[in-house]
Amino acid sequence: MTSTKSLGAEFIGTFWLVFGGCGSALFAAAFPDAGIGFMGVSLAFGLTVLSMAFAIGHISGCHLNPAVTLGLAVGGRFSFRMVPLYVIAQVLGAILASALLYVIFMGQPGAEIGSFAANGYGDHSPGGYSMLAALTMEIIMTAVFLFVIMGATDKRAPTGLAPIAIGLCLTLIHLVSIPVTNTSVNPARSTSQALFAGVNWPLEQLWLFWLAPLVGGIIGAVIYRFVMSERE
């Protein structure tokens, strides 16, 4: 497949991740009579990745996340040359999704955008968790995510089941970390929400939701590579 097709797939896939995942948090979870809660939001994020992994995994690898792209490059599964292009496509897809979510959200009478499903720590953490707690959680969750991705897509793994394992892993990650950071593990997702939030703090805290996932992605990839080299 050409790089153009791969970039287009990453754009569309990340669009769906943000539109489906963050959209569930903005709309379905807040519905007064039948809200899905954070468990439903967790499942929504997992389903976006699972569905897109089947749809575009054979085209772009279905990264949908700068931390995944960098981690796979460090793990020897992806070309460093393509990392910047993938990241740009992912961020642009996420921003388009957030822009459309903003338009839809503001179509409700009396709508107040608030934090717009942004990620945060300290006073802006759903559970009031500190910056150190948020940093630690995001690094660990992203490291595990990369470890699972590399394991599920290993040539020795059962074929055809990787999307299920990866989607369920992302669901579990959200179940654990939504109370701490509202779950990022994805700089593109965090950036897109911060840009359309009606307050300044999401942009002020955005550095953590780039730093932690990127560090976590590298750690997860290095650990998997070391474990597999020992087995081989």
Question: Domain with 84 in it: what CATH number?
Answer: 1.20.1080.10
- Asked whether the predicted pLDDT for residue 1 surpasses 80, the reply is no
The answer to whether the CB of 10 falls within 8 A of the CB of 89 is yes
Q: Output the pLDDT for position 108.
A: 82
Q: What percent of the chain has pLDDT over 70?
A: 94
Quote the pLDDT of residue 160.
87
| pLDDT value of residue 229 | 62
As a whole number of angstroms, the distance between CA 37 and CA 30 comes to 8
Which of 194, 199, 195, 196 minimizes the C-alpha distance to 184? Answer: 194
- Let me know the angle formed at the C-alpha of 161 by 17 and 88, rounded to the nearest 5 degrees: 30
- Please give the pLDDT value at position 114: 77
pTM: 0.94
Asked if 178 and 125 touch (Cβ cutoff 8 Å), the reply is no
Tokens of 90: 């992912």
pLDDT grade for 188, boundaries at 50, 70 and 90: very high
pLDDT given for residue 203 in this prediction: 96
pLDDT at 111 over 80: no
Task: Please report the pLDDT score of residue 31 as a whole number.
Answer: 66
Q: How many domains does the chain have?
A: 1
Arithmetic mean of pLDDT, 24-36: 74
Q: What is the DSSP letter of 185?
A: S
d(Cα 77, Cα 212) in Å, to the nearest integer?
21
Q: In Å, how far are 9, 125, 154, 189, 222 from 182, measured between CA atoms?
A: 26, 7, 30, 11, 26
Q: Is the pLDDT of residue 230 over 60?
A: no
User: How far apart, in whole angstroms, are the C-alpha atoms of residue 200 and residue 170?
Assistant: 28
pLDDT band at 32 (very low <50, low <70, confident <90, very high): low
Mean pLDDT of 103-115: 83
Between residues 229 and 1, the one the model is more confident about: 229
Structure-token pair, residue 136? 């630690």
Short-list 76, 74, 97, 91, CA closest to 7 = 91
Q: How confident is the model over 124-175, as pLDDT tens digits?
A: 999 999 999 999 999 999 999 999 999 999 988 888 899 999 999 999 999 9
Tokens of 18: 């943000």
Max distance between CA atoms of the chain, in angstroms, equals 61
For 12, the domain range is 3-231
pLDDT in tens, 85-102: 999 999 999 999 999 999
How confident is the model over 72-91, as a mean pLDDT?
96
pLDDT number for residue 228: 81
Burial class (CB in 10 A: 0-12, 13-18, 19+), 161: exposed
